[in-house]
């Protein structure tokens, strides 16, 4: 029993300190202990639950993320705004909206990964343009409460007030002054969180991104997911009727 606890603590320690725990990595022994040992598996989940952390298994590797409201390992709204580079709550909500569309570029529904190797800022901009236009047009049909309706109106205003680009030298800089700059701020944050790699203005998702994305769509399904699925279903029906 002591060996099982020690092994579980080793796994939790490795995950918290950012080490990879995967079948084909340096910590392969820890992964095998988690995957094959019932006692170790149960103890890892118990320890992480006490710490308000969650572990996801994806393609023979373990990934850690903070639970809701975790002040030690997660971000408060104010900390997240500072980390991304925005100032206002409605700008932060726009960041969430952009991240949602980045995820749906690679994942449409349960069990359906899109075979895209990368995503570019212009792909995300087109998706956000389309979604916000559709949502604002059909607000009453989406069964939103007053707070949600006002939130979408506010992020739509933030988005629509920004020009596509701000610089004249062809260089896209992360900033709140343009759509390209705003999306780059979001991507910079995702890169800093070890979720994406950037190469020649293309953003390639890492395995950690797929692990968290799969959990979001298959298990979490927050309110934004519900609203957006309603908007997407309505768009699909409209397209079918054309």
Count: domains in the chain:
2
Six-digit token pair at 172? Answer: 């896209």
pLDDT of res. 45: 94
Residue 239 has pLDDT above 60, yes or no: no
The residue from 66, 97, 120 where one domain ends is 66
Residues 187 and 97 in one domain: yes
Average predicted confidence (pLDDT) for the chain: 83
pLDDT of res. 236: 47
Q: Are 46 and 5 in contact, with CB atoms under 8 Å apart?
A: no
Q: Each residue of 31-64: pLDDT tens digit?
A: 999 998 789 999 999 999 999 898 888 889 999 8
Residues 105 and 160 in one domain: yes
Position 12 in a domain: yes
pLDDT band at 211 (very low <50, low <70, confident <90, very high): confident
Q: Each residue of 8-27: pLDDT tens digit?
A: 999 999 999 989 999 998 99
Where residue 36 sits, what CATH number does that domain have? Answer: 1.10.10
Residues 187 and 92 in one domain: yes
d(CA 143, CA 129): 21
The residue from 25, 41, 66 where one domain ends is 66
Q: What is the 3-state secondary structure (H, E, C) of the chain?
A: CHHHHHHHHHHHHHHHCCCCEECCCCCHHHHHHHHHCHHHHHHHHHHHHHCCEEEEECCCEEEEEECCCCCCCCCCHHHHHHHHCCCCHHHHHHHHHHHHHHHHHHEEECCEECCCCCECHHHHHHHHHHHHHHHHHCHHHHCCCHHHHHHHHHHHHHHHCCCCCCCCCCCCCCCCCCHHHHHHHHHHHHHHCCCEEEECCEEEECHHHHHHHHHHHHHHCCHHHHHHHHHHHHHHHHHHCC
Residues forming beta bridges with residue 119, ordered by sequence position: 203
pLDDT of res. 37: 77
Residues 46 and 148 in one domain: no
pLDDT of res. 240: 41
Residues 133 and 195 in one domain: yes
Residues 122 and 33 in one domain: no
pLDDT of res. 242: 40
Instruction: Report the percent of the chain where pLDDT is more than 70.
Output: 79
96: region left, alpha or beta (phi > 0 left; psi from -120 to 50 alpha): alpha
Residues 58 and 85 in one domain: no
pLDDT band at 28 (very low <50, low <70, confident <90, very high): very high
Least confident of 105-109, 152-156, 218-222: 218-222
The residue from 66, 90, 121 where one domain ends is 66
pLDDT of res. 199: 95
Position 110 in a domain: yes
pLDDT band at 99 (very low <50, low <70, confident <90, very high): very high
Q: Residue 50 belongs to what domain range?
A: 2-66
Which is higher by pLDDT, 75 or 114? 75
Stretch 106-121: mean pLDDT: 73
Six-digit token pair at 25? Answer: 């990595």
pLDDT of res. 121: 95
d(CA 145, CA 105): 27
pLDDT of res. 128: 95
């Amino acid at each position: 029993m002591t060996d099982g606890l020690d092994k579980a603590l080793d796994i939790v320690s490795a995950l918290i300190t950012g080490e990879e725990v995967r079948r084909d990595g340096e910590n392969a022994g820890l992964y095998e202990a988690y995957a094959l040992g019932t006692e170790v598996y149960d103890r890892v989940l118990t320890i992480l639950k006490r710490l308000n952390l969650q572990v996801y298994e994806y393609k023979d590797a373990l990934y850690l993320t903070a639970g809701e409201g975790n002040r030690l390992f997660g971000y408060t709204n104010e900390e997240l705004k500072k980390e991304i580079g925005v100032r206002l709550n409605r700008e932060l909500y726009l960041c969430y909206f952009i991240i949602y569309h980045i995820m749906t570029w690679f994942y449409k529904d349960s069990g359906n990964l899109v075979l895209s190797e990368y995503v570019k800022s212009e792909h995300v901009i087109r998706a956000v343009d389309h979604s916000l236009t559709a949502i604002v047009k059909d607000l009453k049909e989406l069964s939103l409460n007053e707070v949600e309706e006002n939130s979408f109106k506010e992020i739509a205003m933030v988005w629509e007030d920004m020009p596509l680009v701000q610089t004249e030298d062809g260089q896209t800089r992360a900033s709140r002054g343009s759509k390209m700059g705003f999306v780059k701020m979001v991507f910079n944050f995702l890169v800093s969180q070890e979720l994406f790699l950037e190469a020649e203005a293309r953003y390639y998702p890492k395995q950690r991104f797929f692990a968290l994305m799969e959990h979001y769509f298959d298990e979490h399904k927050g309110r934004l997911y519900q609203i957006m699925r309603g908007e997407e279903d309505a768009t699909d029906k409209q397209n079918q009727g054309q």
